[in-house]
Structure 1
Amino acid sequence: MEENNKLIINSNQGNLLNELKKNLKECERFYFSVAFINFSGLQLLLDTLKELESRDIKGKIITTTYLNFTEPKALEKLQEFENIDLKVFIANKDIGFHTKAYIFENKDSYKIIIGSSNITQSALKSNIEWNVRIISKEDAPFIKDVLKEYDNLWNMSSELNDEVLQKYILFLNEIKKMEVKRQLVFESLQTIQPNKMQVRAMENLNRLREHGENKALVIAATGTGKTYMSAFDVRQFNPKRMLFIVHREEILKKAKQTFDKVLKGRNIKTGLFTGNKKEYDADYIFATIQTMNRYYEEFDKSYFDYIVVDEAHHAASDSYVNVMDYFNPKFTLGMTATPERGDSLSVFDLFDNNVALEVRLYEALEDDLVIPFHYFGITDIEGVDLEGVNLDNISEVANRLMINRRVDFIVDKMNFYGHDGKFRKLLGFCVNIEHAQYMAEEFTKRGIKSVALSGADSVTTREKYIAKLESDKDDLQAIFTVDIFNEGVDIPNINTVLMLRPTNSPIIFIQQLGRGLRKSENKEFLTVLDFIGNHNKAFLISIALSGARYYDKDSLKVAVATDFIDVPGCTNIQIDEIAKERILSQIDRENFREVKYLREEYNQFKSLCGGKVPYMLLDYIKYDGAPDPIKFIDKEKTYLGFVAKTEKDETLKKLLLDEKFEKILKELNGNLPLKRINEFVILKYLLENESISIEVATSEILKYIKEIDDDSVKHAFECLDHKYYDSSMIKQRVKMIEYKNNTLFRSKEFEEIIKNKEYRKYIEDAINYGILRYKNEFKEEYYGVPFLKLYEQYKMVDIALLSNYRKIHSSFRGSGLLTNNNDYFLFIDLHKEEGIEERINYKDKFIDRNYFQWQSPNSTNQSSDRGKNLIFNKERKINLHLFVRKYKEIDKKVQPYIYIGKGDTVEYEGEKPITMKIKLNNELPSKIYREFIEKV
């Protein structure tokens, strides 16, 4: 039975948008009265309103011109619906209009939502809003009062005719002109402050410098403010002379403008160093690499204190290497959106594998660094049949997509969903050049002026059409492309992206989506229309949209079924029911651990690397949406072993014949992904140095985390000494170190192996990958002892390491309760078996997001010391740590546990076992709670 009264807020648990959609679908009539309607909010309701129109469910909407916030575009769109009567209350100086009421008439009752939310994307999804929903019978006095007042407002409001609408549009245009003048004055008074990403980057750069590092790389999505971040860091470092290098002059000029803003008021001269202009006397020089490569020897090697290398993925080329090798600054900062490898040199190696910060798409959305997107997954027309078609057969796929009826369908959907702003600025991603040209021609025939661009077009041609699309004075509305806009091209004004090709790579999908997410003045959101066909890889869309770097089948299904409800901010993802069912059934059928799937995933990634074999684990950090190489390691014990087998590479197979090398690689790969960084940081240091003391190890670890305790450093030394390995593990491993007098030394075997350049590069790669991935997942935080991060995934044996357990670690397994001194670790399976006939343990369950019911092992009674520790844990200072997993296995792969934090027993009953109610110290986030309890 639905609760009569309910408070609706925007949070991870739900939002007003979902509440409105649900109530609209269930009602027989609806009546809205809202002060403001923006297109950003209305677009999110369009599909629901269309469904109501098809079912002849009628509605009335009253809005207003009060404070000039309602958008004419939204009013025009509402006028298209035959089932909606629309009226506008014309506000004046004396009478304002501020109602926010949503009334739903049902068979024998009314549901009414009254509160603070208008129809805008932020009010419906992300703002702090309070709305109260009340359910009552139609004859209740409250309902009668509301309906009476609504009728009064309806009678006081005006029909929206063309004349009223045009007057309102003209009035708003005049207001905008006045606002521009006001904003220009105000802007000049503003102090530029760093955003969250920039603050974090600066803190991490400082930490690296304090511990002796002089190079670092920042990886962040396009449009997230990397140039501003570099300017802020330069301002805090305060070098006497600085050099900023980039490969394109247009980027250089923008960078100089940014620095001039940030450094305003300081007595610093900035200047350009390009083919046309060489300002040698500037303190801070902004140079193109082409020019600096010709003139760098005219400067002293120590002339610059600080060097910034923008678009650092180009830095592996000879011209950059020449310049970077010549100069000897106090600090070098590299910045890139995609840290691709060059032909020989790794970008990571160029910056000593110090990644100060990595910000990918979903983090950028969360921190409001890019604009939100409204994604609509639309089932493609029946005439397009891609079932069983090999998606690598590009010409066949293109032929099946190039039909006029599909173009009409696409245009129809574009017109229905609309776009942000006055002018359409569209990027359409196609299968091949022929498809792009076809789309451009067909759109132009239909009155939407378009052009096709590809890698075959010159840079000048591309720039010309990009400028036309950016301009509001040109009539070009769309660019159709194949590959050239996946990354690196900046068109801030893009407000529509069309996905016109079947998605067979999450990486490419994310790159293409990213083209439209750059912030631009007056741009509120990006409209993304994805036409989903019946090809057998449609489920890859869910991987791209989930935002999870590392996923499992169950969490993907929950994300799809709930329309990715946890996507940050005003972003909204909506997939129609046919496409959703198709995707869910594909996920069900797919085995993400099967050799066939893994090889396909690997080969797809290899093709994105330009056909070059991705020999290094670090290759997987360069792309947002890249596969998780741990799956490849699981299959063959080492990543190199998987590559050797997949590529049938005899050279690699020979390398792995060296028993010592293979054992070292197995140990390093087997520890991935890291849950504690200490051991790998120590090994990284020992690659370059013969020994390391506890003091030096502490300093090295502090480059990556904010603090570290002495006992955990000592425990790391003991673990590297294999002190807690059992006999079989010792046989399978090669000791990389010798431990004497609180100092670690490289062992002879390790010395011998790392002298070989081929062996060394793979060992170094595993160590650097482990550290970089750890930084992405754990950031710079110190989690204490046991070293446990809330909601992170753990295996049972991990906890021995992370709690500084000083016995054989492999013994830390078995029952659902393990202890280490005052720390009690509860390992809980919610569902005992995967599958339709699964048996559920109803005793171990979430009561809600704050309480968990757990049964002790069968042998535990209340009077035993262990029993007392469990039921009186708080008084006895016993820490109960809860680890939960939904299924023990998925696709025959044992699943890790999720750490949901500490809890205290508040109620208990029974003997052998004891049933306990545990209050969690941290309320479980709704996303994780949903994944645990949802059955899809």
Structure 2
Amino acid sequence: MAQSASEELIKFYENPADLTFYTDNNVCTGNDRYRDHLLGHILVSMRKAENMDIIVSFLMESGVRLILNELKSATERGAAIRILTGSYLDITQPSALCLLRKHLGDDIELRMFKEKNRAFHPKACIFHHRHDFHEIFIGSSNISRSALTSGIEWNYRFNSAADDRGCRKFMHTFEDLWLNHSVTVDDEFLKEYSKHWHHHPILKYDEEKVTSFFQPRGSQIEALYALEHSRKEGADKGLVIAATGVGKTALAAFDSVKFERILFVAHRDEILKKTAGTFASIRKTADIGFFNAGEKCTDRSVIMASVATLGNDKYLNDKYFSPDFFDYLIIDETHHGVASQYRRIMNYFRPKFMLGLTATPERMDKKDIFELFDYNVPYEISLCEAINKGYLVPFKYYGIYDDTDYSGLHPVNGRYDNRELNETYIGNVRRHDLIYGNYLKYGSRRALGFCCSREHAEEMAREFNRRNIKAAAVYSNAGGECPEDRGTAVEKLLRGEIRVIFCVDMFNEGVDITSLDMVMFLRPTESPVIFMQQLGRGLRTCADKQFLTVLDFIGNYVRAEKVIRYLTEGKSDSRTNPYGQNNLPDGCQVDFDLRLVDLFASLNRRNTVRKELIRQEYFRIKAETGKVPDRIELFNGMESDIYLEAVQHSKDNPFSNYSGFLKEIGELSPEKEEIYTGFAGDFLRMAETTAMTKVYKMPVLTAFLDGSALKSAVTEKDLLQSWLSFFSGNRNWIDLDKDMTYEKFLKISRKRHADKIFDMPVKFLLKTENMFFRQEKPRTLSLNPKLSDILSRPEFAAEFRDIINYRTVEYYRRRYEKETETR
């Protein structure tokens, strides 16, 4: 494995051949290899200094890595370190700040200059030694690899013995800037700064020619810091949302290093094989086994498991793995987590930490993924943010009008039947010409076309080959005229033997072809998940690749008007942004055929009123679940825009009176109707609607649940157990008080918790819901005896539990939305 330039430099400076050169020479210009670099001079001074102050216009990850070990050694011997940097042109990288915070924490002080309308270009390292002796390096170097090493940078050293007045002037000015013109870089500042940070072109000149695979980079550093911080706050699970191409698999491997037994779960064997290589390199181990259809390894420290195999009930037992066998569980591409096999795995194991990885849930998609992780999202970088930060290339998207008529097709739950699509596409010469013509118009060396079926992929490959554009079709169970094994097809594409691969689903995820310069959407896009997956296939960075061309052939199919919402990640839609020009990432372009603007307007006019949309969503989810959905299933399954419309309009909100909603649409069973009759129904509706500006009432109400029945009364012990169980879980303690920290939470006595329970939620329930609650004995809470006959009925307890679960997760959702809005 080749060493990075940084690693080579660090190795040299750990044992420099001649320290005399650095102590006797005050001038460095960057000319001579190593000896004339500023890095050597400041490392020598760092090793001797009692305290140090660094002030630079910007910090870069590459530069921080070069001085990190020396800074750490200095703090370990008690040196005080202050670093003041700026946000000039967005060059200071969030990952550089995170490196310092992650490895040095509160052992150093880190601040950022805050005056926006005043230039900030200082570059100096001030070293304070014994006997009131000070030395200053001042010049042109910021903290970057180039500036500290091979760049032409002029820097000069002087000290207080030679110019005490000059030294004191610089030191006093630093003190003023530090105290009066800067802000502390803490975790909240970092989140805000990272959220709005954009990649600056100057950064590409500081990238290393040889990079080490064994070091986290960019957003991985930020995510690792956020995950570690989340665990310190008591979290036992978390979801990382990161756009395709950011390096989620390597992130998981880096984060797993401190854990002994690792389980990685994915839905495809090729993903598991690729992941095994990544984990072997980063964890530096060959102790990796597979648990899939072909083998059932149980004695390795790292297990790569197929969800189809491990999710089978016959393997989820002590014969194979006990529930606490693994310390760290990783669920890859967590948008699949709603499947029953994934849920079984997640519910069976009890790791110290469970990490979910996904590129695609986005807040515009379904919410079930967030619910699985209690809406704890330590780190999130959307596709737009990843492009803005330079981790992905920009796209040029062309919405091409396709007059193929979809009105005679019969989509079920928003999805088209492939047989009907085949009948529409196969032999459609006009459409072939449209696709081929636009492919030539925009040009490509390596393209990927997404088709609806193997027959469709075969025909597209055949048509392109007939027109002298070498192409292949890739799909499962290959057979036919132009099929290729996926690996073979990719190799041919990379070698230039073919120019287009037409595929069916197999390239949606888990495949990296960095040199792709075009993707073509040749079938209706039925969900934001699929859209973002397919778009993400071509956005990875590659040498000489400036952007990705996206050709989307759009007709009058269901949800066609949603494409602007997908492109802007829910920030706008075809009503508010009909031409798609707003809310795009840096360098991206969107161009719609004007006929599509008219089509979108027509489709928007045709959309049904809110009440009917909610009804249609209900029946779609019922068809997917195969039963009358409960509240949680409806919450998870509803598209977010429809859900938000529903809960923001109380008259149409099914969750505020679910039994009434079911009765209105003819879905309330006689058994449920009986439960909701009379006083018992009033009690359940109270649980649906009782005010909840804070979450305090939920653990109190939960205390009444007793398996498949409800208790008639709960004691202080019952309430305290439910309360502590709730607030100890996955960072829920943050909702106890405005200024609560995890350390403060751990110090709260049981008596103080009990007092809060009775002084707040119990008191308010007794006051506002006194028809249902009473206090017959001190430090207890009882239910009205009118409920006594129904408390033991399992179906009543199930309804009550469903209400509590929904209201809790809806609280999490609102908290998460509020947190993301304030970042």
For normalisation by structure 1, the TM-score amounts to 0.50
Q: Could you tell me how far apart the structure 1 residues matched to 2:533 and 2:384 are?
A: 12
- Mapped contact 1:690–1:746 kept (Cα < 8 A): no
State the 1:630 CA deviation: 4.0
* 1:47 paired residue number: none
Distance in 2 (alpha carbons) for counterparts of 1:399 and 1:592: 29
Structure 2 Cα separation of the partners of residues 745 and 199 of structure 1: 48
Give unpaired runs (5+ residues) of structure 2: 1-196, 363-367, 707-716, 741-752
- Given that residues 406 and 557 in structure 2 are in contact (C-alpha distance below 8 angstroms), is that contact kept between their aligned partners in structure 1? yes
Q: Distance in 1 between matches of 2:440 and 2:464?
A: 13
In 2, distance between residues paired with 1:380 and 1:611? 35
Contact kept, 8 Å, 1:686 with 1:746, in 2: the verdict is no
Question: Match for 2:222 among 199, 202, 205?
Answer: 199
Kept after mapping to 2: 8 A contact 1:375/1:529: yes
Take 1:505 and 1:299, find their aligned partners in 2: how far apart are those partners? 36
> Is 1:594 aligned to residue 610 of structure 2?
yes
Cα deviation code 1:317-365 (max 9, x no counterpart): 898788777765433434455789xxxxx88887678665666655655
Q: Quote the offset at 1:516 in angstroms.
A: 3.7
* CA offset digits 1:5-25 (Å, max 9, x no partner): xxxxxxxxxxxxxxxxxxxxx
Q: Are residues 1:446 and 2:464 paired? A: no
Give the residue type in structure 2 aligned to 1:187: T
Alpha-carbon separation, structure 2, partners of 1:761 and 1:687: 7
User: In 1, are the aligned partners of 2:402 and 2:555 still within 8 Å (CA)?
Assistant: yes
Q: What is the rounded CA distance, in whole Å, between the counterparts of 2:409 and 2:371 in structure 1? A: 41
Q: Percent identity?
A: 29
Structure whose residues are more often helix by fraction: 2
CA deviations 1:703-745 (Å, max 9, x no partner) are 1476763699999987755849998xx59xx758979989988
1:425 equivalent in alignment to 2:480: no
Note if 1:527 corresponds to 2:544: no
**Which residue of 1 is the match for residue 7 of structure 2?**
none
Alignment partner, residue 377 of structure 1: 399
Instruction: Give the Cα–Cα distance (whole angstroms) in 2 for the partners of residues 517 and 647 of structure 1.
Output: 47
Contact 1:388–1:536 at 8 Å: present in 2 too? Answer: no
Aligned residues of 2:271 and 2:510 also touching (Cα < 8 A):
no
Distance 1:660 1:451 in 2: 67
Please say if residues 472 and 489 of structure 2, whose CA atoms lie closer than 8 Å, have aligned partners that are also in contact.
no
The alignment partner of 2:642 has SS state of: coil
Please give the alpha-carbon distance, in whole angstroms, between the structure 1 residues aligned to 2:269 and 2:557: 43
Alpha carbons of structure 1 residues 258 and 569: separation in structure 2 relative to 1, 3 Å: farther
Question: Residue type matched to 2:522 in 1?
Answer: L
Cα-to-partner distance string for 1:114-151 (whole Å, 9 max, x where unaligned): xxxxxxxxxxx976599xxxxxxxxxxxxxxxxxxxxx
CA distance in 1, matches of 2:247, 2:690: 35
What are the ranges of 5 or more consecutive residues in structure 1 without an aligned counterpart? 1-124, 131-178, 341-345, 781-788, 792-936
Residues 1:703 and 2:745 aligned together: no
The equivalent of 1:773 in structure 2 is 813
Q: Is the 8 A contact 1:219 1:359 kept in 2?
A: yes
**Aligned-partner Cα distance in 2 for 1:754–1:221:** 47
Shift of 1:487: 5.5
Cα deviation code 1:233-285 (max 9, x no counterpart): 223xx234444444544333433333344446xxx664334678899886545
Name the counterpart of 1:857.
Answer: none
Q: Deviations over 1:601-645 (max 9, x none)?
A: 5556667x487765454565579x655324345465434454665
**SS of aligned partner of 2:399:** strand
Deviation, structure 1 residue 691: 0.9
In structure 1, what is the Cα distance between the partners aligned to 2:217 and 2:207? 21
Alignment of 1:186 with 2:210, yes or no, is yes
Preserved contact between residue 676 and residue 684 of structure 2 (Cα < 8 Å): no
Alpha carbons 2:696, 2:761 under 8 Å: kept: no
| Contact residue 753 and residue 759 of structure 1 kept, 8 A | no
How far 1:377 sits from its partner (Å)?
Answer: 1.2
- TM-aligned CA deviation for residue 411 of structure 1: 1.5
Answer whether contact 2:618 2:634 (CA < 8 A) is retained. Answer: no
Please say if 1:231 is aligned against 2:270. no
In the other structure, the counterpart of 2:276 is 256
Contact 1:638–1:666 (8 Å) recurs in 2: no
Write the distance in 2 (CA, Å) between the matches of 1:538 and 1:695: 47
> Structure 2 vs 1, CA of residues 747 and 567 (structure 1 numbering), >3 Å: closer, same or farther?
farther
8 Å CA contact 1:270–1:283 kept in 2: the answer is yes
- Cα offsets for 1:364-406 (capped at 9, x unmatched): 555655543321112225xx34567655575666545552122
Deviation at 1:415, TM superposition (A): 1.7
- Whether the aligned pair in 2 keeps the contact of 1:546 and 1:564 (CA below 8 Å) is no
Q: Deviations over 1:484-538 (max 9, x none)?
A: 6556666655432222334565554444434444556765533221223345753
2:809 maps to a residue whose letter is Y
Alignment of 1:158-197 (within 5 A): 186-188=210-212, 192-193=215-216, 195-196=218-219
One of 546, 562, 572 as aligned partner of 1:540: 562
Matching of residues 687-766 of structure 1 within 5 Å: 690-692=718-720, 696=724, 699-700=727-728, 703-704=731-732, 709=737, 720=761, 723=764, 752=791, 756=795, 758-766=798-806
Q: 1:682 to 1:537 in 2, by over 3 A?
A: same
What is the CA–CA distance in structure 2 between the aligned matches of 1:684 and 1:457, rounded to whole Å? 53
For residues 76-95 of structure 1, the C-alpha deviation after alignment (integer angstroms, 9 at most, x for no partner) is xxxxxxxxxxxxxxxxxxxx
Q: For residues 693 and 658 of structure 1, what CA distance do their matches in structure 2 show?
A: 32
1:565 aligns with 2:589: no
Contact 2:272 2:306 in 1 (8 A): yes
Residue 628 in structure 1 maps to residue 628 in structure 2: no
CA contact (8 A) 2:635 2:806 kept: no
1 CA distance for matches of 2:674 and 2:693? 29
Check the 8 A contact 1:202/1:229 in 2, yes or no. no
Answer whether contact 1:245 1:309 (CA < 8 A) is retained. Answer: yes
Work out whether residues 532 and 566 of structure 2, in 8 Å CA contact, stay in contact via their aligned partners in 1: yes
Q: Which amino acid aligns with 1:378?
A: I
Distance 1:129 1:269 in 2: 40
For residues 397-456 of structure 1, give each alpha carbon's deviation from its aligned partner in whole angstroms, at most 9, with x where no partner exists: 65455521222122111222224xxx32212234x5554443333223222334455566
Distance 1:779 1:722, change over 3 A: same
On the 8 A contact 1:721/1:739 being kept in 2, the answer is no
Residues 690 and 450 of structure 1: CA distance in aligned 2, closer, same or farther (over 3 Å): farther
In 2, Cα distance between equivalents of 1:372 and 1:754: 58
| Equivalent residues in 2 for 1:771-810, closer than 5 Å | 771-779=811-819
Q: Letter of the aligned partner of 1:567 in structure 2? A: L
Q: Structure 1 residue 776: deviation in Å? A: 3.7
**RMSD over aligned Cα, in angstroms?**
5.5
Structure 2 match to 1:657 = 676
How much does 1:692 deviate? Answer: 3.8
Residue by residue over 1:662-704, the C-alpha shift from the partner in whole angstroms, topping out at 9 and shown as x without a partner, is: 55665666589x8765655776687688314999599549814
- Number of residue pairs matched? 577
> For the Cα contact (< 8 Å) 1:469–1:477, is it kept in 2?
no
Instruction: Specify the alignment match of 2:438 in structure 1.
Output: 413
Higher-RCO chain (CA-CA 8 Å, sequence separation at least 6)? 2
Query: Between Structure 1 and Structure 2, which shows a larger proportion of strand residues?
Result: 1
The CA distance in 2 between the partners of 1:523 and 1:685, in whole Å, is 58
Contact 1:217–1:348 (8 Å) recurs in 2: yes
Alignment match, 2:174:
none
Per-residue CA deviations over 1:549-584 (Å, capped at 9, x if unaligned) read 8x7xxx6523224x3421223333222323223323
C-alpha distance in structure 1 between counterparts of 2:266 and 2:725, whole Å: 36
Question: Would the alpha carbon gap of residues 204 and 498 (structure 1) be closer, same or farther in structure 2, given more than 3 Å must change?
Answer: same
- Of 657, 661, 667, the residue aligned with 1:648 is 667
1:574 matched to which residue of 2?
591
